[in-house]
Structure 1
C-alpha cells in the first residue's frame, strides 16, 4: 500500500495536474475542491489515513490558512505542503508558523514537487519513530503500539485488553516469530501490575538439570556447586508478571512444582526446608500443540487446564497480510535511522506487492530481518525488488523480474548482428576453407561465430533453475542437483577439475554423480584444467 496524499485546490485543472504527477511518483492521490471538503474527508478517516496534504492557500470561503488553523485543533498530525501563485516572504513565513512543512510557488515543476513530498514523508517517518521510541522507553510495549490493521489481529488485541483487567492465567499460542512475548508485555502494561517486574523465562533454553534452580531458586549448599543462595524467577517476579515462553518444553518433574505454585501461591526452593509465598501473574506461551503433548504423555493434563484458562491465539503473518505494509514501513524507518540512512524512507509499490504475496514461514521475525538486510543492501532512496532477491526467487511471478534486473544490459557474449551488405563491402566468400573478404572488412572466425547462440536469455547467462516442474510441484533435490551439474559442465566446457572445484566436491564424487544421474552419455571427453 502506497502513501495516500490529499490534494486540496479549487482549480480543477491544477487538481488534475497534481493528481497525475503524484500518481507517477508512486503515491495514491485523493482530491478535495475546497477547505471545508478537505476537513470533512480528514474527519471521516483515521488520523493516520493520509500521509501528506498538498494545500492551496488561496481558495474561496475557507482558505489554506483557515485549514491549517483548523488542523491544529484536531489530533490529525500530517505534513502539509502549501502552494500559491502569489508568493512572498510574509506569506511563506505565515504558512510555516501555521504548521506548514514546505512552501512552493505555482506553477511548480514535477521535480520540485517530488522533492518536497519525499522530504516531508522522511521527516514525518523519523518523527513517528522518535515518538515510538520515547513511548516504549517510558511505558514499555502497549496495545496501542502494536501494528494491527487486520481483523484477526484486532481480535487478539481486544482479547488481550480484556484479560489484562483481571488476574486470570493466560496462554498465548502461535507459531515462532508471531510476537507472543509482545502480547504478554502489552498485557502487563495494561494491567494494575504495570509498574511491577516483568520476568521472561525461555523454558526451551534451560538445561533440564538447572530448570528447578532457575525457576524456584536454591539455598546455599543445596547441591554441588551451589556456593551461594540463588533467588529464582518466581521470586524475581513477585508482585509482577512471570512470562513462561515455550512452556511445553518443561520437564514433567518441574511441571508438578509449577502446578503447586499456581494452586497454592507458594514455591519450594531447592534445598529449602519451608515454602516461600509468591504473588505473581502467570502468562504462558507455546508454539506447540499442548493437547497433543498431553495425549503423548509429555505434558500434565491437570497443568494444561490450569494454564489454558484464557487462551489467546496469535495468527501467523500469512493470515494477516493486511499488516505487512505497515510492519514493513515500521521496520524500514527503524533500521534506516539506526544505519544512518535518513534518505531511505520508501518501499516501491511493486516490492510491497511482492512482500504481501510471500507466505513468511518465519513470520514477523523473518520480515524484520528481511527489511534489515534490504536496508543494508540498498544504494538508492527506496527499496525495490532487487533488494529482496531471496523473497523474489520464491514468489513465482517476481522471480523472472529479479533475474532480468541482474542480467547485464550489454553482454559481450551475445551474438554480433549479421553484417549488412553494401556496395562497398562484398559478401564473404569461401576459398580453400578460409574466409576471404575485401579490404576494409573484418575477418570472421567461423568457430567463434558458431559457438555464440543467436540470442541469450537471462537463464542462459545466469544459470537460472526452476524450482517447480511442469505440473507445479517442487522438483526433487536429485533433479535440481543433476541440473546444476549439467549447467556447470556446459559453463566450464567439461573441464572436470574446474567443475568439481566450483561445485565444492572432489573429482571422484563428480564422476560418481555423473554416472548416478546418467550424465556420462551427454558429456564429452574430459578436458585438462
Structure 2
C-alpha cells in the first residue's frame, strides 16, 4: 500500500482529498503545517507528497520540495495551488516537483496524476535495482568516494589498468581491496576475459596448490578426475590473489615460477602449460616485515610489488563515510524493501563521521544493512545503529561541540550543531547543507537568523 503525505492548511481540502485517496486504497497521512509535514517526512518512508504551494506568505510547498530533494529521496512531490499561484508552481516544476494541480481539483485528474507519479517511482526503483545488480556484477559500483585520497587512487587505477604489470594492493581488512582489483580488470584490455578471486588465507594449505594450479586424475586420494586450477580458469583475464601474505613458502616458489615463466604445472603432472593471466595480489600484512622475518620470499615480493596501491582505512578519509553510508542504504533499501533509501538524521551523521570504523567499509556496510533490516520509519537515527557504534563513548562523540552538557532548548541545540558542522567543513555551505540533509536556501535562512557572517 502506497503511503501519501497530504499537506494543506485547509481542513476541508485535507478531508475531501484524503477521503478520495483512501477510497483508492492509499495510506494517507495529513499535515496542516510545514512543521507537521517535516515531522512526517522524518518519521517514515513516504511514496508521494501532495503539498499546498504556500500558506499565506510562507513558501511551505517549496520548502518541503527543497527538503525532499536535499535528502536525495525518490519521493515525488505534487504541488497544489490556486490560479494565482500558477507561475510559482511552474517554478516548483523547474525545482524538481513532479506536477502541479490547480484548485478546485478534478477528482479523476488528481487520481490519475497520483497513479502516474507512483508508477514512475516503481519503475525508477526497478531501474535502480537492475542498475545496481549490473554494476555489482562488473565489480565497480562499490567505489563510492568523495575524498582526495580515493580520487588519486582511482586516477592511478585507470593508468595501471592499461599495462600488464602485476599489482600489489595493500590495506587493512575491509577497505575494499577487491573492488580496486575488479576496477583494474574492468578498465583494462582484459575486461572481456574472466576475473577470478582466490582467498589464499581461507583455503587449507593441503588444497591450495590444487586450487591455484589444478591437478591430474589420481594426483592424490580423492582426485577422481582432472581439474583446472584458477590460473587456467582465469586464462585471458585477471587472477586476484587476496591475502597473498598467507601463502606457505612451498607455494611461494611455485607462484614465483608462474609469474616469471607464464606457465603452470598441475599437481601430479610432469608437463607445463602456458597461461596468459594478469595477477593482482592483495594483503593486509606488511610484506616487507614478513620478508625480514623470513616468512615471505624477497624475490616473490619484488615480483608482486611492481606497482603498489595502498588503500587507506576509512578513518583516514572521513569525507567518504556519509556517501558510502547513503550508497549502502540505497542499495539495501532497493534490494530488501523495494523502497526509497533511509535518510540520515544530523545526530547519526555526526556519529558516523566521527566513529573510527576499525572494520572499515565492511563494518559500515554491515551497519547500514542492519539499519535497513531492523529500522522503523524513513530516517536512520543513532538508536538504529549497532551497540558497538552507539555506545556511551560514541554518543558523547556524536554530541561533541554542542555544549557543556547542560539542558538546552531544541532550537539552540540545532543552532549549535549547524554552526559546528559548518566550522568542521571550513565554511563550505554546500557540503554542510548536504550533511544536514537540507537545501542551501534553508541553510542560508538559518544562518541569517543566527546573525552568522563568513
TM-score range for the pair, normalised by the shorter chain length: 0.5 to 0.7
Q: Check conservation: 2:74, 2:121, Cα contact below 8 A.
A: no
Q: What is the rounded CA distance, in whole Å, between the counterparts of 1:350 and 1:22 in structure 2?
A: 22
| Pairing partner for 1:347 from 320, 344, 348 | 344
| Pairing partner for 2:145 from 141, 145, 148 | 148
| Pairing partner for 1:279 from 276, 289, 292 | 276
Q: Deviations over 1:119-169 (max 9, x none)?
A: 8997698356325335327x6123x66211111111111111111111111
| Pairing partner for 2:172 from 172, 175, 200 | 175
Runs of 5+ in structure 1 lacking a partner?
4-9, 30-47, 69-77, 103-118, 402-529
Partner of 1:133: 132
Partner of 2:443: none
Q: Deviations over 1:378-412 (max 9, x none)?
A: 222222111115111141426899xxxxxxxxxxx
Partner of 2:318: 321
Partner of 1:115: none
Structure 1 residues 302 and 53 mapped into 2: Cα distance closer, same or farther (>3 Å)? Answer: farther
Secondary structure at 2:201 match in 1: helix
1:224 partnered with 2:241: no
Partner of 1:80: 97
1:392 partnered with 2:390: yes
Q: Which structure carries more helix by proportion?
A: 2
Secondary structure at 1:285 match in 2: strand
Q: What is the rounded CA distance, in whole Å, between the counterparts of 2:339 and 2:73 in structure 1?
A: 23
Q: Deviations over 1:198-226 (max 9, x none)?
A: 11110001212222222111222223333
Partner of 1:265: 262
Structure 1 residues 17 and 222 mapped into 2: Cα distance closer, same or farther (>3 Å)? Answer: closer
Q: What is the rounded CA distance, in whole Å, between the counterparts of 1:267 and 1:169 in structure 2?
A: 17
Q: What is the rounded CA distance, in whole Å, between the counterparts of 1:131 and 1:225 in structure 2?
A: 42
Q: What is the rounded CA distance, in whole Å, between the counterparts of 2:104 and 2:130 in structure 1?
A: 34
Secondary structure at 1:284 match in 2: strand
Q: Deviations over 1:443-469 (max 9, x none)?
A: xxxxxxxxxxxxxxxxxxxxxxxxxxx
When normalised by structure 1's length, the TM-score is 0.56
Q: How many residues align?
A: 343
Q: What is the rounded CA distance, in whole Å, between the counterparts of 1:128 and 1:58 in structure 2?
A: 32
Q: Superposition pairs for residues 2-401 of structure 1, below 5 Å? A: 17=60, 28=70, 58-59=86-87, 64=91, 80-83=97-100, 126=125, 129-136=128-135, 140-142=138-140, 146-340=143-337, 342=339, 345-390=342-387, 391-393=389-391, 394-397=393-396
Secondary structure at 1:204 match in 2: coil
Q: Is the radius of gyration larger for structure 1 or structure 2?
A: 1
Instruction: Give the C-alpha shift of residue 63 in structure 1.
Output: 5.6
Q: What is the rounded CA distance, in whole Å, between the counterparts of 1:197 and 1:21 in structure 2?
A: 48
Secondary structure at 1:306 match in 2: helix
Higher RCO, 1 or 2 (CA under 8 Å, sep at least 6)? 2
Q: Deviations over 1:413-460 (max 9, x none)?
A: xxxxxxxxxxxxxxxxxxxxxxxxxxxxxxxxxxxxxxxxxxxxxxxx
Q: What is the rounded CA distance, in whole Å, between the counterparts of 2:73 and 2:68 in structure 1?
A: 17
Structure 1 residues 15 and 252 mapped into 2: Cα distance closer, same or farther (>3 Å)? Answer: farther
Structure 1 residues 375 and 131 mapped into 2: Cα distance closer, same or farther (>3 Å)? Answer: same
Q: Deviations over 1:305-354 (max 9, x none)?
A: 11111111111111222222222122222222333362663222221221
Instruction: Give the C-alpha shift of residue 247 in structure 1.
Output: 0.4
Structure 1 residues 165 and 149 mapped into 2: Cα distance closer, same or farther (>3 Å)? Answer: same
Q: Check conservation: 1:218, 1:229, Cα contact below 8 A.
A: yes
Q: Check conservation: 1:26, 1:349, Cα contact below 8 A.
A: no
Give the aligned CA root-mean-square deviation in angstroms. 4.0
Q: What is the rounded CA distance, in whole Å, between the counterparts of 2:73 and 2:372 in structure 1?
A: 25
Instruction: Give the C-alpha shift of residue 28 in structure 1.
Output: 5.0
